[in-house]
Amino acid sequence: MMMPVLASTEPGYFQKLIFGGDAASRAGAQSDALFMMIFWFSVFFFVLLMGLMVYFVFKYRRRPGVAATPSPSHNTLLEIFWTVVPSSSMLVFFVLGFQSYAEKMVVPDNSLELRVTAVKWAWDVKYPNGATSPEQQPLSIHVDPDTGVVTKGLDYPIFYVPEDTSVQLKMVSNDVIHSFWIPDFRTKMDVIPNRYTGYGFHTPTLTEDDIMADNETIQRDLWIFCAEYCGDEHSRMAATLRVVPMDVYQQKISDWGKPKSPEIEGEQLYNQMCKACHTIDGTASTGPTWSQATIDGVQFGYGYDAQLTDGTTVPRDDNYYRRSFLDPHAEVVVGYKPLMSDFNGLLDEDQVFALIAYIKTLSDRGRAESSEETENTEEPAPAGSES
């Protein structure tokens, strides 16, 4: 019907200005075209009405002693006219709106299914082979050529998808409501605890514009934002969706699926899910630091005792950590609130093990314990641990 007409419309100057660029999917382009249609409709009426208003104000401005000229106080024909015209336009917008909505929601059966899990404040994407992405990149790096001062944004995870593929998202949240928004696809959907939601998109085909400066890699980065308010770090719950050629994608996920040492896997998990609240440099954050450090007289780190809000003290051993991940509200460390999500069901036993292995590397007592035979390596203590 009308949708193909909209889709074929070349994005014009205003569309580029408004959206800051083209949509990266066909459904997105359609919805942009629809937006522009409503936009021009609005501009038409707005200019017409404001034009008349300004003209009337000027033409009929008050002159002392001159009366207003009487004019009819209503006009049925005119009034019917300006009721019918907007009404019928509304009908058109409505119909096009839901056609294009269907386009955004419906995905072919054989599409790539990604499982998205949201926790405060991180995204986790699981690929069909069970792999997750360990990669990160800082948002914008700027090096001042004179002073050498480096300015960079925060680190965000990178999720890879192959080009020209239909992708289906299956999303669920582990705590509060989040919303998975990929602005370039012009779609978002809420991620709700205890219920699957989702949508699909067709990834763009890479073009010459997507060839990187090194002349070798070809890829396109799209932003993912969390669009439903979810607390302190809501504004940092972002990620990058990286569109790459199919072979690169396949290489990546099979690499990530390969077994790794527990320490490395633990570090990856930390980067994916825990970094929003826990530091490894001995500084305070939403949650306690994992490295061995003393902050305001409270000792942290593997092997040291944890003071709890109920007044008791427990040793930080493997079991303590296990409980902390899976039932965090049972034991709350002094100075902190029970804010941590319950990761029970999200971490399997291997991952718990890996995390504990990683946490051990962050504390001298942990390292001593795990490397009984591997003689003490000269690993320097993490910055800030001597406070």
Partner 1 sequence: MSTLDAHASGGHHEEGSYLSGPPGMISRIWQWASTVDHKKIGVMYLVAVLTMFFLGGVAALAVRYELLDPVRTVVTQMEVDGVMTEVVSTTGQRLDPIAKIIGADDANQAYNRLFTLHGAVMVFMFIVPSIPASLGNFFLPIMIGAKDVAFPRLNLLSWYIYVVGSTFGVLSIIMGGVDTGWTFYTPYSTSTDADHIRVVFMVLAAFILGFSSILTGLNFVVTVHKLRAPGMGWFDMPLFIWGLYATSIIQVLATPVIGITLFLLIFERVMHIGIFDPAMGGDPVLYQHFFWFYSHPVVYVMILPGMGIISELLAVHSRKHIFGYRAIAFSSLGIAAVSFLVWGHHIFTAMGELAAILFSGLTFLVAIPTAIKVFNWIATLYKGSIAINTPMLYGLIFLFTFSIGGLTGLPLATLSTDLHLHDSYYVVAHFHYVMMGGTVMAFMGGIHHWWPKMFGKMYNEWGGMLGATIVFIGFNITFFTQFFLGTQGMPRRYANYVDEFQTLHVISTYGSWILLLGFLVHLVTLLHSLIAGEKAPANPWGGLTLEWETESPPIEHNFHHEPVCTHGPYDFDTVVPPHCDPKDYPLPSNPGSH
Q: In whole angstroms, how close is the CB of 187 to ligand HEA at the nearest point?
A: 13
User: Residues 58 to 87: which contact ligand HEC by CB under 6 A?
Assistant: none
- By beta-carbon proximity to ligand CUA, the closer residue of 96 and 118 is 118
114 contacts 127 by C-beta, under 8 angstroms: yes
Which residue lies nearer to ligand HEC by CB, 184 or 267?
267
Residues 73-132 contacting partner 1, CB under 8 A: 73-74, 78-79, 82-83, 86-87, 90-91, 93-94, 96-101, 103-105
* Interacting residues with partner 1 between 254 and 293 (CB under 8 A): 286
Amino acid at 274: C
Q: How far is the CB of 46 from ligand HEA (least distance, A)?
A: 6
| Min dist. Cβ of residue 291 to ligand HEC (A) | 10
Q: Which is nearer to partner 1, 78 or 264 (CB)?
A: 78
Number of residues that bind ligand HEC (CB under 6 A): 28
Residue 147 in the binding site for partner 1 (CB under 8 A) = yes
> Residue 143 forms beta bridges with which residues?
150
Please state, in angstroms and rounded to a whole number, the distance separating the CA atoms of residues 112 and 377: 45
Would you say 217 and 263 are in contact if contact means Cβ atoms under 8 Å apart?
no
Contacts of 9-14 spanning 24+ positions with Cβ under 8 A: 9/33, 9/36, 12/36, 14/39
Vertex 227: Cα angle to 235 and 237 (nearest 5)? 35
Listed in sequence order, the residues at least 6 apart from 277 whose beta carbon sits closer than 8 Å to its beta carbon are 120, 121, 233, 285, 286, 287, 339, 340
Single-letter code of the amino acid located at 77: L
Q: Residue 173 CB: number of other CB atoms within 10 A?
A: 24
Residue 131: C-alpha distances to residues 114, 134, 197, 220 (Å): 11, 9, 21, 21
| 14 touching partner 1, by CB under 8 A | no
Site size for partner 1, by CB under 8 A? 101
Residue 277 within binding range of ligand HEC, rule CB under 6 A: yes
Pick the closer one to partner 1 by CB: 28 or 301.
Answer: 28
Kindly state the helix (H) or strand (E) to which residue 342 belongs, with its residue range: none
User: Cβ contacts of residue 118 below 8 Å, gap of 6+?
Assistant: 124, 171, 172, 173, 174, 175, 178, 180, 191, 226, 230, 237
Residues between 305 and 364 with contacts to ligand HEC, criterion CB under 6 A: 306, 316, 321, 324-325, 328, 332-333, 336-341, 343, 355
Residues 33-52 that bind ligand HEA (CB under 6 A): 45, 49
Q: With CB under 6 A as the contact rule, which of the stretches 135-143, 227-235, 296-304, 365-373 interacts with ligand CUA?
A: 227-235
Footprint (CB under 6 A) of ligand HEC, residues 120-159: 120
- C-alpha torsion angle, residues 373, 376, 379, 382 (rounded to 10): 90
Task: Give the range of 109-117, 142-150, 237-245, 274-282 binding ligand HEC by CB under 6 A.
Answer: 274-282
Give the x/- contact pattern for partner 1 in 160-199, rule: CB under 8 A: ---------------xxx-x-x-xx-xxxxx-xxxx-x--
Q: Residue 184, Cα to own-chain centre: how many angstroms?
A: 12
Q: Which residue is nearest to ligand HEA (CB)?
A: 86
List the structure tokens of 380: 């320097």
Q: How many chain residues interact with ligand CUA (CB under 6 A)?
A: 9
Residue 333 interacting entry, from ligand CUA, ligand HEC, ligand HEA, none, C-beta within 5 to 8 Å by type: ligand HEC
Q: Interhelix angle for 349-360 vs 318-326, to 10°?
A: 130
CB of residue 299 to ligand HEA, shortest distance in Å: 38
Report the amino acid identity of residue 233: E
Interface residue list for ligand HEC (CB under 6 A): 119-120, 269, 273-274, 276-278, 286-288, 300, 306, 316, 321, 324-325, 328, 332-333, 336-341, 343, 355
Residues that bind ligand CUA (CB under 6 A): 118, 121, 178, 226, 228-230, 234, 237
Under the rule (CB under 6 A), what is the footprint of ligand HEA?
45, 49, 86
